[in-house]
Structure 1
């Protein structure tokens, strides 16, 4: 079977093979990307193995939800009903100790004012901040106790 290349001959150079034009498309920078770098140090709200509140089912649901939310443009995800997409919560209503490094790095100042939350069905919810298309995951709330709702 012949490869998808073209051969050109010229007086100036010997036979040269040129690859077929690339099939890659531009990346979708308007889709959400998820960052776990700044999870809270509070053991009951992070993914450390010592956190008995976050079991394998919650971890699997988290991965599933991130996969779903990252498949569409951010504008569409923000328009989903709150049980399927994201919900904005004023920062003053959330009782969360933010990772010190998140604030010191300047990322906190780059983010929108409110927290953003997505649900993991009845298994919990994820709380974070958004800067452009990056969703910084700051806490996993399996007991629904970081804010009243």
Structure 2
């Protein structure tokens, strides 16, 4: 291994050691519901999101509400990803000038990535634009 490689490993290890304690303390405060340094900024945003979604943070969510929430969230993901794939020719970050993905392939890909099966029936580098891969597929990989 080269000296640059060892330096990169050392810098990464140092960065992890520096942020581990403060980040751990912050996470413990958040998970226990304690006030923290970001509370004045994030608490009003959180309350607004709860109000917009009709959520009572003091009440637990039952199985039926959870199921409906999960299905609604997944449906939004499928529709969004399908739209991105069908409209990719008109979206930014398409330097290769790829056309829109055919309807059946777009639906198959959208459902596959939302359900986290990630089944692909195409070569990503020759079918999907950078935008479709970054904003469409990568976001679904993260949220699913």
Could you tell me the TM-score, scaled by structure 2's length?
Answer: 0.23
Q: Which has the larger radius of gyration?
A: 1
Q: Which is richer in helix?
A: 2
Identify which of structures 1 and 2 has the higher relative contact order when contacts are C-alpha pairs closer than 8 Å and 6+ apart: 1
Q: Which is richer in strand?
A: 1
